[in-house]
Structure 1
Amino acid sequence: MIGRIIWFATLAALALLTAGLQLDMQSKGTAQLARAVPAPLRSYAQTHIAHAALQAGDAQLAVAEAKRLVRRRPLPAENLTLLAAAHARAGEVDQATQAIRIAGQRGWREGAAQEAVLRLALSAGDDAEAARRYAALFLRPQTPDRLLEELGPAVMGEAGGLGQQTVIAVVVGGERWHPQFLRRGASVMPPAAFSAIAAGSLAKGAQFDCTQLKQSAAAIAQRDAGAASTLRAAAARRCPDITG
């Protein structure tokens, strides 16, 4: 009798465990399910829990939830950047830097963490890293234009500086992003910085489409005539009719 009770209890426990694991898997694409997953079984669900804590502004809770996430899923870079962002929000710069250093080998994909890492890099005086994070945010269609407009001056404001040079390297190395750079950059980047980056990219061999380049110059002219003149002069050899 006792053996049967133990057997049925074991089956019930296994059923609950299986249901919890399945719910956790489903939460990967449905954030609303995360809270329904029992805390000890949260793996994919823990990503949503940690992200929500970070967005809520409770720094210590965000650190605790992000640490729990990294313990359960240590490999994804996004989890480490969430931990870095949480440490940064809590003012724990050394811990944030350590998490960034580890995650730096894996890349960043998550927008909120990208922004947090960018701001941390700026505060640490790492202009190159800030520019790389800006480029990553820029290339995400989901990134609001207002955020790019806000961050642009701090990242690329120094003429010929490391921030501009880093973005030039990104543009030159990513030909498939040229149309997005010319279209979006002309509206969200500081005009002088955009012109300098476009000119620097041309000098390093970027093969911009002339029609798109002409449209960018016209858009910049509405914001800064001097920056537009700089861009047209730099592009005149490749696109002779850009001044027309």
Structure 2
Amino acid sequence: MIPGIIWRVLLIAIALVFAGVQLDREAGKTYPLAASVPEQFRSASQFPMAAMALDSDNPDYTLAEAERLIRRRPLPAEHLRILAQAQFAAGATDESALTIQYAAQRGWREPLAQETMARLAIDAGDMPEAARRYAALFLRRDTQDALLEELGPMVLSEPGGAGRQTLIEIVGGGDRWHNQFLRRGARVMPADAFVEIVSATVANGSRYDCDLLNQLERGLTTRDEAAGEGLKTVIADQCPS
């Protein structure tokens, strides 16, 4: 009889653990469920708990939840980003700055980390690094154009400068995103920088869609006549009629 009781208790314990793990997984996708996950089972659900804690008026609670997230799931860059925000809210500005740098190194597509690192690089006068961070933001479809328009003149202000040269290398090495670069770059980059990057990459062997270039030339000329004339020269070289 005793072995039977032990067996049933064991089955119940396994079922409870399984239920807790499943609830944790579901809460990682459905944020409102996170608070209902028992603390000892929180893994995936700790991310929404920490993210929601950022809206708290209690910085100590926010920091505790963020630190718990890092202890349980330390690898994702976005988890470090949440920790940096929590540290900043708690007044630990030096620790926050260091954490955001780690986040940026670990995840090139983590937007807040990339924006922060871009601004730090700009302040330090490190235009190649700023341009790399700018490119990481540029490639994210959910990055607001307004942010790229704000950072672009800071990163790409100097004709022939290090920021532009770095973008030339990045764009020239990424044939698969040339059309994305053309469409977005014509909107958000300084017009003369956009034309310099297109012209240099064409000279280095890149080839762009001629119909798209012609379409963009008309809009660019309206925005900046000199830049439009420069793009016409590129089109004439690459797309002879």
TM range (shorter): 0.7 to 0.9
Structure 1 Cα separation of the partners of residues 231 and 4 of structure 2? 82
Q: Aligned with 1:114: secondary structure?
A: helix
> What percent identity do the matched residue pairs reach?
51
Residue number in structure 1 paired with 2:115: 115
Contact 2:101/2:113 (<8 A) preserved: no
Shift of 1:150: 2.6
Evaluate the alpha carbon distance shift between residue 151 and residue 101 of structure 1 in structure 2; reply closer, same or farther with a 3 A threshold: closer
Structure 1 Cα separation of the partners of residues 8 and 209 of structure 2? 70
Residue number in structure 1 paired with 2:47: 47
Residue number in structure 2 paired with 1:174: 174
Contact 1:70/1:80 (<8 A) preserved: yes
Residue number in structure 1 paired with 2:33: 33
Structure 1 Cα separation of the partners of residues 115 and 56 of structure 2? 16
Gaps in structure 2 of 5+ consecutive residues: none
Contact 2:192/2:227 (<8 A) preserved: yes
Q: Aligned with 2:237: secondary structure?
A: coil
Structure 2 Cα separation of the partners of residues 159 and 56 of structure 1? 46
CA deviation vs aligned residue, 1:25-50 (integer Å, no higher than 9, x gap): 11333333323323332222222233
Evaluate the alpha carbon distance shift between residue 51 and residue 194 of structure 1 in structure 2; reply closer, same or farther with a 3 A threshold: farther
Task: Give the TM-score normalised by the residue count of structure 2.
Answer: 0.79
Shift of 1:16: 3.8
Say which is worse superposed, 48-57 or 232-241, in terms of deviation.
Answer: 48-57
1:39-78 equivalent positions in 2, closer than 5 A: 39-54=39-54, 63-78=63-78
1:1-244 equivalent positions in 2, closer than 5 A: 14-54=14-54, 63-84=63-84, 86-87=86-87, 94-96=94-96, 98-99=98-99, 102-103=102-103, 106-241=106-241
Task: Give the TM-score normalised by the residue count of structure 1.
Answer: 0.78
* Alignment root-mean-square deviation, CA: 3.4
Contact 1:128/1:162 (<8 A) preserved: yes
Letter in 1 for 2:41: L
